[in-house]
């Protein structure tokens, strides 16, 4: 069974987190959400707090983010959702930046959506095709081959644009991890309107 680690922080965009998490679970992917804190903590707390989403919705993560527990030998996919504040916290974390590079070096997938694509810049990834939310385009367009496609796949790096592209982003991750048949199997019962991305 493939496995995914989905990062979350205060200010994470709720749709990008939940749609991705839910869609992967529907495909049989074992998912774990990990809270990346913007505060210094003593490390003795066992249970993470609620993450306060960008729209004020509280989401309870599965665990605290731990670089030692998040290594690419434990997961097949690392996901970084957007939301301006959450993306700033996650992409600004040096342990996350290190893991992004390690996942890609080890041939594992990394998904970034919306402002989460800033993690590609902060992780010093090489110039390659990429997309993001328009609000962070100017920070990325010179360092990458910027695209306005809903989902961009560059080797093992998968990027997307925002809440409205969360379903094609998540379904693309399903296809890459589990195959085209599984993507169709998951998308069917969701009842997308005709002529959409499913």
Q: Walk me through the domains of the chain, giving residue ranges and CATH numbers.
A: 3-190 (3.40.50.880)
Phi/psi of residue 110, each to 5°? -130, 125
Within the chain, how many helices (H) and strands (E) appear? Answer: 7, 11
The two three-digit tokens of residue 52, written as one number: 């306060």
Question: Which residues belong to the active site?
Answer: 16, 114, 133
Q: Return the ∠ at Cα 168 (arms to 126 and 53), rounded to 5°.
A: 85
pLDDT one-digit tens code per residue, 133-187: 999 999 999 999 999 999 999 999 999 999 999 999 999 999 999 999 999 999 9
pLDDT one-digit tens code per residue, 100-140: 999 999 999 999 999 999 999 999 999 999 999 999 999 99
- Does residue 194 register a pLDDT over 90? no
Helix (H, G, I), strand (E, B) or coil at 38: coil
Please report the sign of the dihedral spanned by the C-alpha atoms of residue 92, residue 130, residue 73, residue 25: positive
């Amino acid at each position: 069974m493939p496995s995914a680690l989905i990062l979350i922080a205060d200010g994470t965009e709720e749709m990008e987190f939940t749609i991705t998490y839910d869609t992967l679970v529907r495909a049989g992917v074992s998912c774990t959400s990990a809270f990346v804190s913007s505060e210094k903590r003593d490390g003795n707390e066992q249970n993470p707090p609620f993450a306060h989403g960008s729209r004020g919705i509280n989401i309870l993560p599965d665990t605290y983010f731990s670089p030692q527990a998040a290594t690419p030998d434990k997961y097949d996919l690392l996901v970084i959702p957007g939301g301006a504040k959450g993306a700033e916290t996650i992409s600004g974390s040096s342990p996350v930046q290190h893991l992004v590079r390690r996942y890609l070096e080890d041939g594992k997938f990394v998904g970034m959506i919306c402002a989460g694509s800033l993690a590609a810049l902060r992780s010093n990834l090489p110039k390659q095709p990429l997309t993001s939310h328009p609000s962070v385009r100017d920070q990325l367009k010179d360092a990458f081959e910027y695209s306005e496609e809903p989902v961009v796949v560059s080797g093992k790096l998968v990027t997307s644009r925002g809440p409205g592209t969360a379903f094609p982003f998540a379904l693309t991750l399903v296809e890459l991890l589990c195959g085209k048949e599984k993507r169709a199997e998951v998308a069917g019962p969701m009842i997308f309107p005709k002529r959409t991305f499913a």
